[in-house]
Amino acid sequence: MKTARIIFVSAAYAALLGLAGCGFTPIYASSDNENAPTAMDMNNIAIDVVPDRHSTDSSYARNDQILRNDLIDMMYGADRPEKLRYRLSIHIHYNEQDLAIQYNATSTRELLDMYADYTLQDTMDANGNLLVTPRKLVSGTAHSVTSFELLDAMYATVAARQDAHARTLQECAQQIVNRVSLYFSERPDTPSPATK
C-alpha cells in the first residue's frame, strides 16, 4: 500500500512538471497577481450593468446591483486605473416557472432561469485616444438555472427567492469573467496604451 501511494504521488508530480514544461498557464490568475497581462486587462474594464426592469417587487428587483458587485469582486484587484479602456455592458432577464403543481392548482416550487447578455467593447485606439464608436470585442449570454421552494410563510418565500436570484447571478458573473478572461488570454499580444 505504501509503495503504491509513493508511485501515485510521483506520477502526479511528474504530470505537473510536464504541464509546466509545455508552457501551461492559468487562463486568469487570482487578483493577487495584478501584473499578469490578463489580470491587468480585467482590471481595466468599466462595468456598466443595465438595470433589471423585469420585476417591480422591491424584495428582489435589484439584480443589476448584485451582478455588478459580483463582477467587481471577481475582476478587480486592489488598484484600479483612473482611465478605463474597456466597457462591459450587461442586460439581465429571467423567467420564473411554477413546478410541483398540486391538485388545487397551486405550486410548491418555482424554477428560475437567469440570463445575462454581455458585450465587451474597446473604447480606445492603439494610441490611447477615445474612439468615437467603441469597437466590439466579444459578446454572448451567460445562463444559470435553479429552483426554490414556495413556503407557507411569506417572508420565508421571499428569502428563498432572493437566495435563488443571488446564486444564479453569481454563476452568470463567473461565466462572464471566464469568457472575457479567455478572450484576453487568446488574443494576439499587442501593447496596451497607458491608462493611468
Q: Who has greater pLDDT, 3 or 83?
A: 83
Q: Taking residues 169-193, what's their average pLDDT? A: 83
Q: Taking residues 69-94, what's their average pLDDT? A: 84
Q: How far is CA 118 from CA 22, 51, 145, 173, in A?
A: 33, 13, 17, 10
Predicted pLDDT at 126: 84
Predicted pLDDT at 155: 84
Instruction: Quickly state the pLDDT bin for 8 (edges 50, 70, 90).
Output: very low
Per the CB < 8 A criterion, the answer to whether 92 and 103 are in contact is: no
- Checking if the pLDDT of 190 tops 80, the result is no
Name 85's Cβ contacts closer than 8 Å, sequence gap at least 6: 44, 45, 122, 123, 124, 192, 193, 195
Predicted pLDDT at 26: 46
Domain 29-186 -> CATH class: alpha beta
Instruction: Quickly state the pLDDT bin for 89 (edges 50, 70, 90).
Output: very high
- pLDDT per position as a tens digit, 10-56: 444 444 444 444 443 444 444 455 556 688 888 889 998 776 665 55
Per the CB < 8 A criterion, the answer to whether 118 and 137 are in contact is: no
- pLDDT per position as a tens digit, 130-149: 888 999 999 999 999 998 87
**Strand order of the sheet with strand 130-149?**
45-50, 86-101, 107-124, 130-149
DSSP symbol at 126: T
Per the CB < 8 A criterion, the answer to whether 83 and 43 are in contact is: no
C-alpha cell read off for 115: 440570463
Q: What is the domain partition of the chain in residue ranges?
A: 29-186
Phi and psi based region of residue 6 (left: phi greater than 0; alpha: psi -120 to 50; beta: remaining): alpha
Place of cell 486587462: 41
CA distance 76 to 191: 20
C-alpha cell read off for 4: 503504491
